[in-house]
Structure 1
Amino acid sequence: MRRDNLRLSTKKRAALKKMSNESGIIAALAIDQRGSLEKMIAAEKGSTTAQEITTFKELVSEELTPFASAILLDPEYGLPASKRRDSDAGLLIAYEKTGYDQATPGRLPDLLPDWSVERIQKAGADAIKFLLYYDVDEDAAINHFKHVFIERIGTECLALDMPFFLELVSYDAGHNDMNSKAYAKQKPHKVIEMMKEFSKPEYFVDVLKVEVPVNMSFVEGFGEDFVFTEKQALAFYKEQSEATDLPFIFLSGGVTAERFQETLRFAKKAGSRFNGVLCGRATWKDGIEPFAREGEEATRSWLKSVGKENLEKLNRVLEVTASSWHDKTK
């Protein structure tokens, strides 16, 4: 069942407006990474502490949220950073436990044990974000478990009138390398079909946070070894946009800032009606080196220059590529 328009309560609409710019585009910054951020810092200096992870998030929040419509943080390390954000920036807080049990098939989701939607709401969040790994072709019992899991979260958000952002990350249960040429051939099917699934009304999702439908490194004109022509890739972006009636935003997926901006322009060329971004590592990951090697002042200097420039360039691209989510809601 598809919806012609998403019906938003007055409170949810106000929260989404807080997380958007004046054009109704979500230009949000994501730094809810936990285990991966720990590894990135440790890779530069050999080890890291919980306080260092918290401090890096605080610096990013303080220096970059004046140029973002919202910030996505986590309850484990990110709450101090939420207090350092710009007063006009909205706040999303992640609800999922980071990572997954690699010994158990299915990349099964789990919640942070000490948190609920109500507790996150009381911590000052404007919206909830939950990350789900999903393979549309996986065993039906595993996917049924995930369907019910997301129904529960959607219902919890509905009861508390909190916008529910569902982040979907595709994978293939039979392979480990999601950056491979072999997976690039499957990715459009995986991404588009999971968007169709979680656009169903029983999940009460308000905004989808999704991958672009193709690995641009394997698109003609973007990579030396391509599996899709430009025309084929454009068609996948168009099909993705038409697969949902919900507002949807793109995640950066760890690519460079330049590649992500190129990708958004490509999506616009395809006729995609995406509604913004939640951009993480593409904005701030190169700030980890000065943080690990030189300390806070060097990090601030990088954020005030390169980090700010990354966001301003992204905002300029969004102005000419993204569409207002208001067009998809009542």
Structure 2
Amino acid sequence: MSKLTPGKLAGLKSVSDPRGVIAAAAMDQRGSLQKSLAKERGAAANAQDLEEFKLQVTEVLTRHASAILLDPEYGLPASKVRNGKGLLLAYEKTGYDAATPGRLPDLLDVWSVRRLKEAGADCIKILLYYTPFATTAVNDLKHAWIERIGDECLAHDIPFFLEFVGYDAEGGDEKSIAYAKKKPEIVSGSMAEFGKARYNIDVLKVEVPVEMAFVEGTKSFKGEKAYTRAEALQHFRDAETMTHKPFIYLSAGVSNPVFIETLELAGESGTKFNGVLCGRATWKEGIPIYAKQGTKAFRDWLETTGVENITNVNNALKAATPWYYKFGVNSLEALG
């Protein structure tokens, strides 16, 4: 693998724990968070609600995380209370998931990598909805888009984290067993594509290659089998072989117990994943509390249940390996 430039190395160090594992919290939800808050409250949630929610999550959870992922639209006040931890900033617009055919992405209008870096970002994060099975026309647009962002991050010497989330190119239900059976190939194929040098991505933020509800022999199993436990473990190992790049797992909106069991499965498979960027699995259950009872009740919930949730994640991260191993070195110091 190529040598890390000074800026990329500094950025990666700043979002890692002392072990070289990325134990980051994610709080860059915008449209989905606003909808959830409004639904629980039975009345609209405004920009101030989003800022306040992010501020509370950041202030409490960064005591137990190596970094926080925020958005520059509502997350900048929160970025000031991150307990000295690393900062990743999102660069994409919210809510383009199902609204556009082919789920084509878009960047925030008044932001650039230069501006995100000036706002304090240690790393840049992009979310892309992607499946290797989409039409060539759709994927060609996405590939070119990611190349541009990769070059922009290269020019500003800042790490580029790409988060890709799979979907059914035929428009099927992503919660179905049919999709669960396609998922290993979608995840593996995406990791193979975006691990290519041309994209200049530093860390892949990936989904786990299985749908836990369909893994026989797990606590998360709902009774319909897409894979045996042994097959699921093999899917983890197969996905890992697709790239030499560091990769971390996202929590994809599952509950805390499901995410913990997922990380345990990853550990059992022997997969050398390099950490997590975990959002909703730590704070999602606090949404109704903030919406109905306000800031103080939410803060109390975060200080207890929220901290418990992130502590569970950190314990499960004992199975993770340092990202610098992917560069063939045994310590951060060896990288310079």
TM-score by length of 1: 0.96
- Structure 1 residue runs of 4 or more that deviate by more than 6 Å after TM superposition: none
Distance 1:209 1:91 in 2: 15
Structure 2 partner of 1:258: 257
Structure 2 partner of 1:48: 45
Superposition deviation, residue 314 in structure 1: 1.1
Distance 2:225 2:27 in 1: 31
**Any residues of structure 2 matched to 1:99-248 within 5 Å, and which?**
99-100=95-96, 102=98, 104-222=100-218, 223=221, 224-248=223-247
Q: 8 Å contact 1:6–1:206 — kept in the other structure?
A: no
Q: 8 Å contact 1:6–1:328 — kept in the other structure?
A: no
Q: Which moved more, 1:157-166 or 1:263-272?
A: 263-272
Q: Which moved more, 1:205-214 or 1:94-103?
A: 94-103
Superposition deviation, residue 317 in structure 1: 1.3
Q: 8 Å contact 2:97–2:129 — kept in the other structure?
A: no
Q: Does 1:294 align with 2:290?
A: no
Distance 1:96 1:24 in 2: 27
Distance 1:103 1:80 in 2: 29
Q: Does 1:79 align with 2:76?
A: yes
Superposition deviation, residue 15 in structure 1: 1.3
Distance 2:7 2:65 in 1: 21
Q: 8 Å contact 2:203–2:246 — kept in the other structure?
A: yes
Partner AA of 1:313 in structure 2: N
Distance 2:47 2:2 in 1: 40
RMSD: 1.1
Partner AA of 1:86 in structure 2: N
Structure 2 partner of 1:67: 64
Distance 2:285 2:98 in 1: 28
Structure 1 partner of 2:331: none
Partner AA of 1:272 in structure 2: T
Partner AA of 2:75 in structure 1: G
Distance 2:54 2:253 in 1: 17
Partner AA of 1:178 in structure 2: E
Give the 3-state SS of the residue equivalent to 2:217 in structure 1. Answer: coil
Structure 1 partner of 2:314: 315
Structure 2 partner of 1:7: 3
Identity %: 55
Q: 8 Å contact 2:246–2:274 — kept in the other structure?
A: yes
Superposition deviation, residue 77 in structure 1: 0.6
Mind listing any 5+ residue stretches in structure 2 that lack a counterpart?
328-334
Mind listing any 5+ residue stretches in structure 1 that lack a counterpart?
none
Kindly indicate whether structure 1 or structure 2 has the higher relative contact order, using CA contacts under 8 Å at least 6 residues apart. 1
Superposition deviation, residue 104 in structure 1: 3.6
How far does the alpha carbon of each residue in 1:122-153 deviate from its partner, in whole angstroms, 9 at most, with x for none? Answer: 00000000001011111101101110000000
